[in-house]
Structure 1
Amino acid sequence: MASLTGLGKVNDVLGLFMDRFRILGGYAALADNPESAATVAADFLRQHGSRTVFVYKLPTGLTQPVEKKLKEMGIQAYTYDSSEDPVNVVKMVDAGISTAAAAVAETGTLVEVAFDDVERLVSSLPKTYVCFVNGSSVVKSVYMTSGLLRSAMERDRVAVTFISGPSRSGDIEQRLVLGIHGPHHVLAVVCSWL
């Protein structure tokens, strides 16, 4: 993964989130600009053998650097706008990239608020998932997401997903198995400038 420099001291909430997310089997990185965020994401995808990726709703200023870096690495990127049948494309790609509405430090959890099937499926169908989260959206406790969740629930169609590392299931021969009902590899990229 790319080395990130110039980040200075990580604040306690961001550091706690990243530590907890890693403990739960996920990967976490802190990026201080769009180019470093794009590099970390593309390197992660390459390391996990991804050749195709569906990119959905990135934070401000990230779309162009991410698309450029993916192209440089030979990773085919699909977007909602470029796909005639985005749900079927999401079912076929190796990886998904999207943005979390928030992250919870105490539990190491990404909070995804999705208003359509594509947004929800990008994080759950592909084997590898990269999630960008604004540094200002990382909160200490689940309780601190209540306003966000209450506001989201006022919409007609919403799905809220809490993502704490890779998918896991304990119902197969009473063993914990990763990646059965979702991604095997999950990277959370905290965008400290946002």
Structure 2
Amino acid sequence: MPPVFAGSGGEKAVAIPPSTVDVAPAKGDQVAVLAGGCFWGMEAVFEQVKGVKSVTSGYAGGARGTASYAQVSTERTGHAEAVRITFDPRQVSYATLLRIYFSVAHDPTQLNRQTPDVGPSYRSAIFPQNPGQARVARAYIDQLDKSGAYGKPVATTVEQGAFYPAEAEHQDFARRNPAHPYIVRWDKPKVAALRAAYPRLVR
């Protein structure tokens, strides 16, 4: 039976192993930048995680001058919709955030899309903030591919690029618009999957 992703309308996470490597402990808050489809759902998931201080929706992978919703939606800017996660590594590690990302927040086997959104701005991509994160991200993708957890290859790329916050209307969208049809159909199941699969990680 193929895995059930939260974004497909189910409330189950894909069962994947934890990463065998992690970023070395560091003092102070750390930042992760992840892209996995519409940033509304990514934000909704990660703001529930213990140790996460803040989640900002935005754009990564393109230039500052094209970091706007209108321009990114043309699918010609190189940007991906992404979230910047500020977290306390003493409470939640980078590899743990990646496990949530790969198993709950989106379907990493979809190329340049996350149902129902299509285009490279909805691609699955990790934007490491330091060499340690890059090492862990690449190793985990390789580990997951070898595990056969998805039944098909992981499409997630590891990329470089600055992060630019999105417009105010996109921040905390799911929290401010819980009855929005898109949130109800695609994002609430992801949050439910997070709570079911990782109850100890939820605040």
The TM-score with structure 1 as length reference comes to 0.30
Higher strand share: 1
Higher helix share: 2
Q: TM-score, normalised by structure 2?
A: 0.29
**Bigger relative contact order, structure 1 or 2 (CA pairs below 8 A, ≥6 apart):** 2
